[in-house]
């Protein structure tokens, strides 16, 4: 381990970052240390510290966002949470991150050279006399160092031995127990050697002050190879110790470094200071190498080292500073004023809002808000404000305020605005929001009128409306929901005064009132875990705090003191909750590992023995401990070590020798040696020797004793463990359950229908068991997949927003989600009737076809209703009257729909109905019933009546008979036939007749597809997906094109529908993947120029149970880097097959591939689906992109989907970019990529990159 460890050169830095989990939760962090393999971060706020262990679990994949120090743009990488503590987080990069590490290198170098006061004080060169004098002074310091280290090392060794003994007692397996016990013995036997060597290292380094530096592997700088996880974990453990120690003694170390620099004549920093925390950790890690300790035992020893040597190191630094000051080495150093000029101000780091925000803070706030990628709070708030304005300008959407009149969102006439003092005075007497009184803006304007002051200007009125909408919506689900709402509403007047004063409340995430609301949310959460007396006491204390805030909110210390008081109330209960969850998770993870080990043993034995019967002596051996030995071996080493192979081989030899394979005895070489091997390992298990001894003695009788010529009785063969079958439930139900990840919140309804929020604490790898905890961190639900899916399907459980997020961020997120829903609704529904529009109706047909494929009930019926001679109605009642008739007719059809039906207005006087699971006579009966009802209906408009009739086309279809375009074509033809036959009638299209007519053509097409796949008459093309941000490499989408003789060409638009109808798409998908991987293997240089190749998957491949394993093998065969492959699935296919999608995406992510949701934005996905689907990229539906330069509704949808995606850490692509205007619009909206003919037309895959590399095409 020691050699590899040097690859992890530690670089200290202070740089802002944000960590997001897949569910969208964001934590403000600060990078403190980094190396080539990952980083160590600390929480940058109390909120982040409180949420860290609740949101991030070890092993979890997260997204790290960081501002690039060179260009200010957002950098993001995927990383694994390797180490999580109460305030610290160690991340291991999934893939090398050279750009991020290079940027941090520059920051580290800049902060060392120019980041603080020390940089301006380079030591002056020393003369000979000064050098001798300083050498003498440093020599005086050496006994002080030896005295401190000698005593603290004695304490360290004693504590380390005690901690190892305790760990041994708590170990869950004999192997772990032995590991800790042996480490303690080695430490005991070599403690004096370790102590002496450590002191010698420190003394030698001190004597070489100026030349000493902690070794690093400079040859590996920039060659960012990922190193063994154990080495990285070791680095993380040491980095956390160093960071804590440096934080405790930052000022002392700064003074000491300045003085040592003066004495040595060269600049001394942490890596050159022989007594810095980094140097002391380096010395002890060298000794750990000599003791050959494992990672888990090293961690225990490091903890003891941190609690003894490092925790009190400030005493040593004080002692050395005092001695050097007495010897006149920079004696006035402590009197100098140190100015903080780091990325985030000290006030922001500590959460102390006592001092005013500095210019540096303002710059930091601007940087956070302007961060590309939209992950920052400012970007989230700006997105909501922008969409809120658009909704108001449209006159629809969110209510401006509870008491607002309809003119609230109307443009206000320009005129004089009230003074700030007048507004604040008017706001001082308003009442908190309540259902029985006017809204906040109305109250303020009423008081302004009474005082003779002008009304609020439009911008201020909008801010007040947004504030009230925001603050009245802060909530959490559960028993304490009303309590939180009461507390937050009580703060509304104070928030309004702050907003009217300087606009700071809504725009500043670090505002004290935001932090106070977040603390109240935590308190409401904790109330549920307290008994009644404790709840009453906490409520009383909080009421007093809120009364003080509302009275003295303008005083600078009020909010800080309120937050501190609330923190004291909630910190201990919160720690108990976190500890409860962690203990439960560890218990279930340990149980799962044990179950998996047992399954692996049984499966591997069954495979090794190949169905052979088990001789009873061998069965006795397995039962007496050998199976347990194999389980422990798997837990310790997996399948990699020789012990595992030998253990299985021993059983195989015995079964063959004793007749299990074919009923006959077979010879065995050196049987006595095998028996000794078995006895040795059974004795090491610590089980009663009598049991294991009897088992081996029984074998000896049959192998070397009197029974060696006989065949012992035989038992039944071992069989692999059977995995539980997937429940036969609707795919949507299963998908909702499978997409849950630990940390997700689910709202369960009890028998009275009351909501009970539960957090998923643990689920097994196969997503077959789910354990939830309540607000107190106690186990509340332990459900299998079937039970949980039933709860979702029956409405007894619903997924919830992330209640671990701070309440203020959660509220902005909810508002963004709500605005997105409204904008998508406007773009997908008809303005006049509120029904689906034609474009969305087509998407619903596609969704029905995707959902029905491969299911028992796979048919649906569509009806097209066309009003006969509707022009007469318009002529009689006028266009306003005609519109009213259309609205009423749409509502009548909506009311008549069956449970799984939808209705759309598809033309001026046409309505279409789609009914899933309805076919034949039932569909025709519905159409006839509605035709008669419309004929008998006498609608009235302004006292004038009229009569109507309709021509109806009826079509029953299934995936085997129709594609989307086929449905629309045949449905319109049927309706036209009904109209041509005189109207007021239904015409039913017989799908079987259509199928018979098309069957021969389709079979011929499928045969041509099969021949094309076999004879290479298809080829791959690709289309560039261009990044709109500098520094990103392009993506390329892989497409199917035709090849060969034009007369034998098969166009994809012809054969893909046939391939889908006849189930050939999995074969097509596999062909595309094989050919793409072969190209990657043959063109590694050109592949390096590409961020990823995007490959489309069909819905049929989702049901291919062997696809994931085939893909794994194909990746290995072609040696393709998985991160270079991005698979695309349409939103329609993903949501229609949610359970299958969940299974495939989990497998893809396990392989390291990326995933994109194609044609996104039609409203089929819920926000929760989007959060839970592990998509890296959203390709926004081209139907919204194509005309967004001319269509405001489409542009608003694109903007809201983009903002929502960025908030969840996903990239966005604009498809169908075909003009310069649309291209520029996409750039202005901030999308990440564009794709379409304006960017580049498809070209053969073989030509990808040739132009860029100046090679002949």
pLDDT in tens, 207-245: 999 889 888 643 333 333 334 556 667 777 787 788 778
**Residue 857 confidence class, pLDDT cut points 50, 70, 90:** low
Q: How far apart are CA 231 and CA 238, in angstroms?
A: 11
3-state helix, strand, coil in the chain (%, to 5): 55, 15, 30
Q: Residue 391: which of 1197, 1221, 1235, 1207 has the closest Cα?
A: 1197
Residue 645: is it exposed, middle or buried by C-beta count within 10 angstroms (0-12/13-18/19+)? middle
Higher local confidence (pLDDT), 1228 or 1042: 1228
Q: Are residues 914 and 1006 in the same domain?
A: no
pLDDT, tens only, 122-146: 677 777 788 888 889 999 999 999 9
- Domain final residue pick, 989, 1009, 1035: 989
- Given CA atoms 236, 237, 239, 240 in this order, what sign does their dihedral have? positive
Q: Are residues 1033 and 1086 in the same domain?
A: yes
- Whether residue 39 is contained in a domain is answered as yes
pLDDT beyond 90 at 940: no
- Whether residue 355 is contained in a domain is answered as no
Q: Are residues 860 and 922 in the same domain?
A: yes
Give the per-residue pLDDT at 570: 85
Q: How far apart are CA 379 and CA 376, in angstroms?
A: 5
Give the per-residue pLDDT at 889: 94
CATH number at residue 1066: 3.20.20.450
pLDDT, tens only, 363-382: 323 333 333 333 445 566 67
β-pair type (755-763, 745-749): antiparallel
Phi and psi at 1019, nearest 5°, equal -140, 170
pLDDT, tens only, 724-739: 777 778 878 888 898 8
**Residue 951 confidence class, pLDDT cut points 50, 70, 90:** very high
For 757, the 3-state DSSP assignment is strand
Give the per-residue pLDDT at 727: 78
pLDDT beyond 70 at 616: yes
Q: Are residues 1112 and 1182 in the same domain?
A: yes
Q: How far apart are CA 283 and CA 275, in angstroms?
A: 10
Q: Are residues 296 and 274 in the same domain?
A: yes
- Whether residue 588 is contained in a domain is answered as no
Mean pLDDT for 1074-1087 is 92
Q: Are residues 189 and 308 in the same domain?
A: yes
Least confident interval from 237-246, 277-286, 382-391, 508-517: 382-391
CATH number at residue 61: 2.40.10.220
**Residue 480 confidence class, pLDDT cut points 50, 70, 90:** confident
**Residue 405 confidence class, pLDDT cut points 50, 70, 90:** very low
Higher local confidence (pLDDT), 118 or 812: 812
- Whether residue 91 is contained in a domain is answered as yes
- Angle subtended at Cα 765 by Cα 760 and Cα 770, rounded to the nearest 5 degrees: 30
**R_g (Cα) of the chain, nearest Å:** 36
Q: Are residues 1210 and 1086 in the same domain?
A: yes
Least confident interval from 100-109, 186-195, 315-324, 942-951: 100-109
- Domain final residue pick, 715, 747, 779: 715
pLDDT beyond 80 at 10: no
Q: Are residues 110 and 142 in the same domain?
A: no
Q: How far is CA 397 from the centre of its chain?
A: 30
Cβ atoms of residues 377 and 16 within 8 Å: no
Q: Are residues 195 and 282 in the same domain?
A: yes
Mean pLDDT for 698-708 is 86
Higher local confidence (pLDDT), 512 or 422: 422
- Given CA atoms 445, 449, 451, 457 in this order, what sign does their dihedral have? positive
DSSP 1153: -
Instruction: Tell me which residue range forms the domain holding 642.
Output: 612-715
Q: Residue 64: which of 7, 104, 121 has the closest Cα?
A: 104
**Residue 4 confidence class, pLDDT cut points 50, 70, 90:** very low
Q: Are residues 68 and 186 in the same domain?
A: no
User: Percentage of the chain surpassing pLDDT 70?
Assistant: 84
Cβ atoms of residues 679 and 625 within 8 Å: no
Highest mean pLDDT among 323-332, 404-413, 448-457: 448-457
pLDDT beyond 80 at 538: yes
pLDDT, tens only, 83-114: 787 668 888 887 777 778 877 877 776 654 43
For 974, the 3-state DSSP assignment is helix
Angle between helices 250-264 and 229-248 (to 10 degrees): 90
Higher local confidence (pLDDT), 254 or 1217: 1217
pLDDT, tens only, 1202-1250: 988 888 888 999 999 999 999 999 999 999 999 999 999 999 999 887 6
Give the per-residue pLDDT at 567: 85
Highest mean pLDDT among 27-31, 274-278, 493-497, 562-566: 274-278
- Whether residue 273 is contained in a domain is answered as yes
pLDDT beyond 70 at 46: no
Q: Are residues 138 and 281 in the same domain?
A: yes
Cβ atoms of residues 822 and 1199 within 8 Å: no
pLDDT beyond 50 at 147: yes
- Whether residue 1198 is contained in a domain is answered as yes
Mean pLDDT for 827-837 is 92
**Residue 505 confidence class, pLDDT cut points 50, 70, 90:** confident
- Whether residue 787 is contained in a domain is answered as no
Q: How far apart are CA 765 and CA 771, in angstroms?
A: 13
Give the per-residue pLDDT at 687: 57
Q: How far apart are CA 52 and CA 795, in angstroms?
A: 31
pLDDT, tens only, 1117-1138: 999 999 899 999 988 888 878 8
Give the per-residue pLDDT at 218: 39
Mean pLDDT for 496-525 is 82
**Residue 407 confidence class, pLDDT cut points 50, 70, 90:** very low
Higher local confidence (pLDDT), 665 or 993: 665
CA distances from 982 to 508, 863, 949, 986, 1190 (A): 67, 18, 11, 10, 41
- Domain final residue pick, 277, 303, 329: 329
pLDDT beyond 60 at 446: yes
Give the per-residue pLDDT at 867: 94
Q: Are residues 858 and 950 in the same domain?
A: yes
User: Percentage of the chain surpassing pLDDT 90?
Assistant: 22
Rounded to two decimals, the pTM is: 0.64
Domains in the chain: how many in total?
A: 5
- Whether residue 407 is contained in a domain is answered as no
Give the per-residue pLDDT at 409: 45
Cβ atoms of residues 484 and 524 within 8 Å: yes
Give the per-residue pLDDT at 76: 81
pLDDT beyond 50 at 793: yes
Least confident interval from 52-61, 310-319, 394-403: 394-403
What average pLDDT is seen over the chain? 81
CATH number at residue 921: 3.30.70.270
Cβ atoms of residues 381 and 62 within 8 Å: no
Give the per-residue pLDDT at 1127: 96
Angle between helices 627-637 and 642-657 (to 10 degrees): 160
Give the per-residue pLDDT at 691: 62
Least confident interval from 40-49, 415-424, 454-463, 1040-1049: 1040-1049
Q: How far apart are CA 1177 and CA 1206, in angstroms?
A: 10
CA distances from 115 to 118, 251, 276, 655 (A): 8, 15, 19, 71
- Angle subtended at Cα 462 by Cα 458 and Cα 467, rounded to the nearest 5 degrees: 150
pLDDT, tens only, 1141-1163: 888 888 888 888 999 999 888 65
């Amino acid at each position: 381990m020691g050699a590899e460890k040097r690859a992890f050169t530690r670089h200290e830095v202070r740089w802002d970052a944000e960590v997001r989990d897949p569910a969208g939760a964001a934590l403000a962090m600060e990078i403190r240390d980094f190396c080539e393999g990952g980083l160590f971060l600390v929480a940058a706020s109390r909120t982040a510290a409180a949420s860290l262990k609740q949101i991030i679990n070890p092993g979890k994949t997260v997204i790290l966002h960081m501002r690039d120090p060179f260009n200010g743009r957002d950098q993001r990488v995927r990383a694994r949470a390797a180490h999580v503590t109460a305030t610290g987080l160690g991340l291991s990069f999934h893939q090398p991150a050279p750009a991020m590490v290079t940027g941090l290198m520059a920051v580290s170098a800049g902060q060392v050279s120019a980041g603080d006061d020390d940089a301006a004080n380079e030591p002056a060169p020393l003369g000979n006399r000064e050098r001798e004098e300083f050498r003498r002074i440093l020599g005086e310091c050496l006994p002080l160092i030896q005295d401190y280290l000698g005593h603290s090392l004695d304490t360290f060794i004693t504590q380390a031995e005690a901690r190892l003994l305790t760990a041994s007692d708590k170990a869950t397996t004999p192997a772990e127990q032995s590991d800790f016990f042996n480490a303690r013995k080695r430490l005991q036997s070599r403690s004096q050697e370790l102590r002496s060597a450590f002191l010698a290292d420190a003394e030698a380094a001190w004597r070489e002050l100026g030349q000493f530096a902690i070794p690093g592997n400079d040859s590996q700088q920039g060659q960012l190879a990922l190193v063994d996880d154990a080495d990285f974990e070791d680095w993380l453990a040491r980095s956390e110790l160093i960071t804590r120690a440096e934080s405790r003694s930052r000022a002392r170390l700064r003074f000491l470094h300045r003085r040592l620099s003066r004495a040595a004549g060269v600049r001394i920093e942490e890596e050159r200071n022989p007594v810095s925390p980094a140097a002391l950790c380096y010395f002890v890690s060298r000794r750990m190498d000599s003791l050959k300790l494992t990672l888990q035992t090293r961690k225990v020893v490091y903890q003891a080292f941190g609690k003894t040597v490092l925790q009190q190191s400030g005493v040593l630094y004080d002692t050395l500073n005092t001695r050097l000051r007495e010897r006149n080495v920079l004696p006035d150093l402590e009197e100098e004023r140190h100015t903080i000029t780091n990325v985030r101000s000290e006030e922001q780091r500590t959460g102390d809002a006592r001092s005013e925000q500095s210019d540096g803070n303002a710059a930091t706030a601007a940087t956070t808000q302007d961060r590309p990628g939209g992950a920052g709070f400012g970007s989230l708030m700006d997105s909501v404000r922008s969409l809120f304005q658009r909704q108001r300008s449209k006159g629809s959407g969110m209510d401006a305020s509870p008491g607002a009149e309809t003119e609230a969102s109307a443009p206000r006439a320009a005129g004089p605005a009230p003074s700030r003092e007048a507004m604040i005075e008017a706001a001082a007497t308003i009442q908190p929001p309540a259902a029985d009184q006017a809204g906040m803006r109305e109250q303020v304007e009423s008081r302004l009128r009474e005082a003779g002051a002008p009304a609020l200007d439009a911008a201020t009125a909008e801010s007040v409306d947004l504030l009230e909408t925001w603050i009245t919506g802060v909530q959490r689900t559960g028993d304490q929901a009303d309590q939180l709402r009461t507390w937050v509403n009580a703060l509304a007047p104070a928030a309004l005064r702050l907003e009217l004063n300087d606009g700071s409340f809504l725009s500043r995430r670090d505002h004290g009132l935001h932090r106070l609301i977040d603390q109240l949310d935590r308190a409401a959460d904790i109330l549920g875990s307290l008994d009644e007396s404790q709840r009453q006491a906490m409520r009383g204390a909080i009421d007093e705090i809120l009364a003080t805030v509302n009275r003295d909110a303008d005083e600078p210390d009020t909010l800080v003191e309120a937050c501190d008081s609330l923190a004291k109330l909630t910190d201990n209960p919160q720690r108990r909750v976190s500890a409860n969850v962690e203990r439960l998770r560890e218990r279930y993870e340990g149980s799962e590992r044990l179950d998996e080990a047992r399954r692996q043993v049984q499966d591997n034995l069954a495979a090794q023995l190949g169905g052979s019967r088990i001789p009873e002596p061998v069965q006795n051996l397995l039962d007496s401990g050998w199976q347990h030995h194999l389980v422990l071996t798997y837990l310790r080493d997996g399948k990699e070590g020789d012990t595992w192979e030998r253990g299985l081989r021993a059983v195989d030899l015995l079964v063959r020798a004793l007749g299990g394979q074919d009923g006959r005895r077979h010879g065995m070489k050196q049987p006595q040696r095998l028996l000794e091997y078995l006895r040795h390992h059974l004795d090491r298990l610590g089980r009663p020797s009598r049991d294991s001894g009897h088992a081996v003695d029984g074998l000896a009788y049959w192998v070397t004793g009197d029974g060696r010529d006989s065949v012992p009785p035989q038992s039944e063969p071992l069989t692999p463990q059977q995995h539980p079958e997937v429940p036969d439930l609707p795919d949507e139900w299963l998908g909702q359950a499978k997409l849950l990840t630990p940390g997700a919140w689910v709202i369960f309804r009890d028998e009275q229908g009351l909501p009970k929020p539960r957090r998923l604490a643990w689920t097994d790898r196969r997503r077959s068991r789910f354990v939830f905890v309540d607000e107190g961190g106690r186990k509340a639900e332990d459900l299998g997949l079937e039970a949980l899916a039933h709860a979702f399907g029956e409405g007894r459980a619903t997924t919830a927003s992330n209640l671990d997020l701070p309440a203020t961020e959660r509220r902005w997120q909810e508002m963004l989600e709500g605005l997105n829903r409204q904008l998508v609704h406007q773009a997908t529904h008809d303005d006049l009737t509120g029904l689906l529009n034609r474009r969305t109706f087509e998407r619903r047909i596609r969704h029905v076809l995707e959902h029905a494929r491969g299911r028992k009930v796979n048919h649906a019926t569509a009806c097209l209703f066309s009003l006969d001679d509707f022009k007469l109605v318009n002529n009689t009642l006028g266009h306003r009257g005609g519109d009213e008739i259309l609205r009423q007719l749409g509502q009548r059809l909506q009311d008549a729909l069956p449970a799984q039906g939808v209705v759309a207005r598809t033309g001026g006087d046409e309505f279409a109905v789609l009914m899933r699971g309805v076919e034949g006579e039932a569909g025709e009966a519905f159409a006839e019933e509605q035709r008669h009802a419309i004929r008998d209906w006498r609608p009235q408009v302004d006292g004038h009546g009229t009569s109507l009739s309709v021509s109806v086309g009826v079509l029953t279809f299934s995936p085997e008979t129709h594609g989307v375009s086929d449905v629309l074509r045949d449905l319109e033809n049927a309706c036209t036939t009904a109209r041509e036959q005189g109207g007021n009638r239904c015409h039913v299209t017989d799908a079987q007749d259509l199928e018979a007519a098309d069957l021969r053509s389709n079979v011929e097409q499928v045969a041509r597809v099969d021949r094309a796949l076999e004879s290479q008459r298809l080829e791959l093309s690709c289309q560039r997906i261009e990044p709109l941000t500098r520094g990103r490499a392009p993506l390329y989408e892989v497409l199917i094109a035709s090849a060969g003789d034009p007369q034998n060409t098969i166009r994809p638009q012809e054969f893909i529908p046939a391939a889908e109808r006849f189930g050939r798409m999995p074969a097509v998908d596999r062909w595309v993947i094989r050919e793409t991987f072969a190209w990657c293997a043959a063109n590694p240089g050109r592949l390096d120029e590409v961020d990823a190749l995007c490959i489309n998957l069909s819905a049929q491949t989702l049901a291919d149970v062997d696809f994931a394993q085939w893909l794994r093998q194909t990746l290995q065969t072609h040696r393709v880097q998985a991160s270079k492959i991005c698979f695309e699935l349409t939103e329609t296919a993903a949501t229609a097959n949610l359970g299958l999608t969940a299974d495939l995406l989990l497998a893809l992510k396990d392989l390291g591939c990326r995933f994109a949701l194609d044609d996104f934005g039609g409203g089929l996905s819920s926000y929760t689906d989007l959060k839970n689907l592990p998509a890296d990229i959203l390709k926004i539906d081209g139907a919204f992109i194509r005309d967004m330069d001319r269509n405001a509704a489409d542009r608003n949808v694109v903007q809201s989907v983009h903002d929502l995606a960025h908030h969840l850490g996903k990239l966005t692509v604009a498809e169908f970019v075909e003009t310069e205007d649309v291209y520029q619009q996409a750039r202005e909206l901030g999308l990440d990529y564009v794709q379409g003919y304006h960017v580049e037309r498809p070209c053969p895959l073989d030509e990808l990159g040739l132009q860029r590399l100046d090679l002949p095409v």
